[in-house]
Structure 1
Amino acid sequence: MQPAVRTNLTTSATESLRAEIVSGRWGVGERVPNEAVLSDLLAVSRGTVREAVRVLVSQGLLDTRQGSGTYVRSTVDASAALDRVRRTGLRDQWEARAALDLEAARLAALRRTPADIKRMRQLLAERGSVADGGSEAFIQRDLAFHKSVVAASGNKAMMELYDFFTVAITETIHATIDGELPEPDQQAHAAILDAIAAGDPDGAVAAVHAFMAPVLAQFERLLSQ
């Protein structure tokens, strides 16, 4: 393990620990050395080690257990994966979003509760347009509606994935409202909600297909030019 450089000790210590975890130095479920040992290895104070561990806990790589120690929770660096997602093409991001939205809508139609429907209707009514407060506010309202559909699916893993892809998904929304791609209108959004409310999983899937089709078709036209 490389000692932390002195420019930014917490950041350097965090990255050194992250590299060791991702490389598999300690396996999932394995206890990592205590603060004193890590402090010596990194040549930093225990306080700096504590801050680095706190960062890696928040990112899902480590897990602290009261009275027991710190353990490896995952060797997959989600932050690096998100950076790779952000470097993919816009079409790839839209197709990934479409896959998530399709399955979320299908499951939501099977599992939605009256409270879910009420929440989705409220968010759809509040979605409005870009003219209502500008593009950034509109994107947040639009994303809130789509996340409510995912929440109604009852699939916690899918909800985590959607949160993971939020940055990339936000960029796809930017692309539509900035004029690069056709923005699905309020009616297209309402069709998804209506199918979910009716408990029609096939209809929900069809509505999402119709929602995404103009955008994906535009990608194909742009790429064929």
Structure 2
Amino acid sequence: MPLATTRRTGLVDQVIGQLRAAISSGEWPVDRRIPTETELTETLGVGRNTVREAIRALAHSGLLEVRQGDGTYVRATSEVCGAIRRLAGTELREVLQVRRSLEVEGARLAAEARTDDDLARLTELLAERDRAQQDGLLEDFARADAEFHLMVVHCGHNRLLSELYRGLTEVVTASVAATSHDRLAEHADLGHQGLLDAIADRDPARAAVEAGGFLDQLLSLSFNVRGHDGAPG
């Protein structure tokens, strides 16, 4: 989505809105650097101070992170996600424990509320995930895996639950990205066909069990990923 030239009233608010839209839409992915102040100034047709003030506001709300000497990076896709990332810090195990609670309920709701279109998208994402695993494409696997789990929660059609879960997903993704490819490969052994089948069969109890079992395995692996005391391993 190209940024549009702003009007001359409420410039800071307009720039904030356009930068937030670029972030929330995924045009600027999490943990990627955004265009420089000079580039944004030229694209938006506003002064450098206006751009700087908008970036400062979004950094304060947790969407952006200004790294001196390196640029400005996307930290989260929404204020809720940013707040969760600040609270979660680096404790992967604590994040997974909370994620388990949300994902079990998300799977239960998905089995009750999913549509045929939802199920078709879940099936596509799982096939994409499995292909990436078989081909050893770990970055593609991690992306498809995250999209699959987010889609499971989305299938429950509870917007608040989806937003909370998205925030935790970003924290987990950021943490796992710092681990070795060998450790990420361990996660690839955790299959999701049983979860997909339970959602397809509209069986909430079985879907919850499948989702809980998967997260229990991740919690077990988190000791290997980060060390026995919760610090990076």
* % identity of equivalent residues: 30
TM-score (norm 1): 0.59
Asked if 2 retains the 8 angstrom alpha-carbon contact of 1:123 and 1:141, the reply is yes
The residue aligned with 2:119 is 117
**CA 1:133/1:219 → structure 2, altered by over 3 Å: closer, same or farther?**
closer
> Aligned ranges for residues 145-224 of structure 1 at < 5 Å?
145-171=148-174, 174=177, 178-179=182-183, 182-183=186-187, 185=189, 188-219=191-222, 223=228
Q: Do 1:121 and 1:193's aligned partners in 2 also have CA atoms closer than 8 Å?
A: yes
Q: Structure 1 regions of 5+ residues with no counterpart?
A: 1-9, 15-44, 62-75
Partner of 1:52: 53
Q: Aligned equivalents of 2:168 and 2:109: distance in 1?
A: 19
Partner of 1:93: 95
Distance 1:176 1:93, change over 3 A: farther
Gaps of 5+ in 2: 1-11, 17-45, 63-78
> In the alignment, residue 200 of structure 1 is paired with which amino acid?
D
C-alpha separation between the residues in 2 aligned to 1:77 and 1:163? 9
Counterpart of 1:108, as a letter, is: A
Larger radius of gyration: 1
| Structure 2 counterpart of 1:123, one-letter code | L
TM superposition score normalised by structure 2: 0.57
C-alpha separation in 2, matches of 1:215 and 1:78:
21
The residue that corresponds to 1:41 in the other structure is none
| 3-state secondary structure, aligned to 2:90 | coil
Asked if structure 2 preserves the Cα contact closer than 8 Å seen for 1:130 and 1:138, the reply is yes
In structure 2, how many angstroms separate the alpha carbons of the residues matched to 1:146 and 1:134? Answer: 18
